[in-house]
Structure 1
Amino acid sequence: MWEADTIIIVSVTFVLAGFTKGVVGLGLPTVSLALLTVFFGLKDAMVLMLIPSFVTNVWQALAGPHFRELMRRFWPLMVAGFLGTWATAGLIAKADTAVLTAVLGISIAVYAGFGLSPIKIPNPEKHEGWLSPVTGGVTGALTGLTGSFVVPSVMYFQSLQLPRDYLVQTMGAWFSVATLALGLALGFQDLLPVDHGMVSAAALLPAAFGMIAGQMVRRRLSEQVFRKVFFVSLLLLGSYIIFLSLR
């Protein structure tokens, strides 16, 4: 499977995904999963994005002063998300891949639409006690089925109006937990081929290169403009993935 053109596609994908993360602080798992699904299908894409996603998000989670505080606050979401991911990942081998691919496309399109929308969800902080585990469980269930862990967790975090640095660190922590849960669940289901793991590990290099380039460009580029381009691109990509699933 891993011919020269395949390696090029994987490398370019992670350079782009890393660049996006370097500029806006998020997007590596979503961009890489979406692009890899187009070229290789959902199951392979989920495995290939695991190591770059986990390593970069652990770094993001630990690179700041809020880690202990956010873990005390959001541990119910993390635990529910881990369990939700584990509960549904076993369906990947049995479910219709076209259906799961469509769910991924819809999830990405919804995430992009939310990012482009001027509508703000009212702050649900007073309901956080029960909303956090519910949000974690729902997001975890979708993670196990599609590999995407942004809906509805990112909307929930943003609606809490967390300070930017706190928000970025919180998303890094949750994405780390979700990636770990997905990797363990896929391994338990014997869905982690060794050659895929090797390519995933090698993809750390282009992902890191993209992140460094993105961080350098961030100082010169309007983040607002880039975010708009980012979400429009995801909306188109999500729509295309839905189209592919219907063919």
Structure 2
Amino acid sequence: MPDVTVLPILLLAAFVHGAFGFGFPMVATPLLALFMDMRAAILLTLIPTVSINLASIFSERHWREALRTFWPVPTFTIVGSFIGTQVLLAVDPEPFRLLLALVLVAYLVTDRFHRAERERRAPTWALALLGLALGLLAGLVNIFAPVLVVFALYTRMNPTLMVAAFNLSFVTSKSGQIIGFVSNGAFDLTTLRLSLLILPAVLAALWIGIRLRRRIEVDTYRRLLRCALWAMAGLLIADWLWTAD
């Protein structure tokens, strides 16, 4: 896949993340997976995803409170993402395109739900299982936002803590993926250099998205994002059906 195609995809994903507070791997991975195998797409987004979420964490005042309350989630995402990466590297990754499409559809469906007023507390063991499931999804398809959205809706999480917990979990899941790639000798230095080279432009796109989020009607962005994600899910399903034949 030529670099000239990689850069626009990552810039678009970073802009969307800045505009909505999340979404970089959810936008970048399906688009990259249309042009390269899933392993390369995940590897290419590792460093930009970590950088973007670290920037989001340090700009969020409530991340320490989120870590104290939901620490089992980011902790066990490391374990789950390591296991998921081992599976990804051990088997044919092509069927995971369908799983990725289903994850996108799941997010689009759950995004229609509305929060209730009362907040529920989940026990520590449930948070640990959630973190493990999130990590497995992160290792396999690089996306776990739909599962976290469902959990947030069910428990009625505080929105501020929810965003902080999202970012913490994304960072720890990437840590598990990096360990998994390195331990299998699959950490491609060429891909690493490419992601480092375009990182400044990606962070600039993130900053532009954050600035525009404060000025432009968010509902317009949400409608466009939903349409784009439905289109990407459809393309991935069609690509999987074509490959299966």
Q: TM-score, normalized by length of structure 1?
A: 0.89
Query: Is it true that 1:77 corresponds to 2:73 in the alignment?
Result: yes
- Taking a change above 3 Å as real, the CA distance of residues 217 and 67 of structure 1, as seen in their structure-2 partners, is closer
Q: Could you tell me which of 82, 85, 103 is aligned with 1:89?
A: 85
C-alpha separation between the residues in 2 aligned to 1:64 and 1:215?
A: 13
Q: CA deviation at 1:87?
A: 1.6
Q: Which amino acid aligns with 2:130?
A: T
C-alpha separation between the residues in 2 aligned to 1:175 and 1:209?
A: 20
Q: CA deviation at 1:237?
A: 0.7
Q: Deviations over 1:116-171 (max 9, x none)?
A: x2355896723343331121111111111122232312332344333443322221
Q: Could you tell me which of 59, 67, 70 is aligned with 1:63?
A: 59
Query: Is it true that 1:26 corresponds to 2:22 in the alignment?
Result: yes
Secondary structure of the residue that 2:89 maps to in structure 1?
Answer: coil
What residue ranges of structure 1 are gaps of 5+ in the alignment?
A: none
Secondary structure of the residue that 2:146 maps to in structure 1?
Answer: coil
Q: Deviations over 1:172-197 (max 9, x none)?
A: 11111111111221121222110000
Q: Deviations over 1:172-227 (max 9, x none)?
A: 11111111111221121222110000111123122112112212322331112212
Q: Could you tell me which of 154, 157, 161 is aligned with 2:156?
A: 161
Q: TM-score, normalized by length of structure 2?
A: 0.90
C-alpha separation between the residues in 2 aligned to 1:123 and 1:52?
A: 36
C-alpha separation between the residues in 2 aligned to 1:139 and 1:123?
A: 24
The aligned residue for residue 138 of structure 1 is 133
Q: Could you tell me which of 235, 240, 247 is aligned with 2:235?
A: 240
C-alpha separation between the residues in 1 aligned to 2:22 and 2:211?
A: 15
RMSD: 2.0
C-alpha separation between the residues in 2 aligned to 1:124 and 1:67?
A: 19
Q: Which amino acid aligns with 1:231?
A: R
Secondary structure of the residue that 1:26 maps to in structure 2?
Answer: coil
- Taking a change above 3 Å as real, the CA distance of residues 220 and 8 of structure 1, as seen in their structure-2 partners, is same
Secondary structure of the residue that 1:176 maps to in structure 2?
Answer: helix
- Taking a change above 3 Å as real, the CA distance of residues 225 and 128 of structure 1, as seen in their structure-2 partners, is farther
C-alpha separation between the residues in 2 aligned to 1:70 and 1:18?
A: 23
- Taking a change above 3 Å as real, the CA distance of residues 121 and 83 of structure 1, as seen in their structure-2 partners, is farther
Aligned ranges 1:1-247 → 2 under 5 Å:
6-115=2-111, 117-118=112-113, 120=115, 125-247=120-242
Identical-residue share of aligned pairs (%): 21
- Taking a change above 3 Å as real, the CA distance of residues 126 and 142 of structure 1, as seen in their structure-2 partners, is same
2:29–2:142 CA contact under 8 A, matched in 1:
yes
Q: CA deviation at 1:44?
A: 0.8
Q: CA deviation at 1:83?
A: 0.9
C-alpha separation between the residues in 2 aligned to 1:72 and 1:88?
A: 26
- Aligned pair count reads 242
2:80–2:176 CA contact under 8 A, matched in 1:
no
Secondary structure of the residue that 2:88 maps to in structure 1?
Answer: coil
What residue ranges of structure 2 are gaps of 5+ in the alignment?
A: none
Q: CA deviation at 1:47?
A: 0.5
Q: CA deviation at 1:88?
A: 2.3
2:121–2:155 CA contact under 8 A, matched in 1:
no
- Taking a change above 3 Å as real, the CA distance of residues 180 and 123 of structure 1, as seen in their structure-2 partners, is farther
Secondary structure of the residue that 1:190 maps to in structure 2?
Answer: coil
Which is further off, 37-46 or 211-220? 211-220
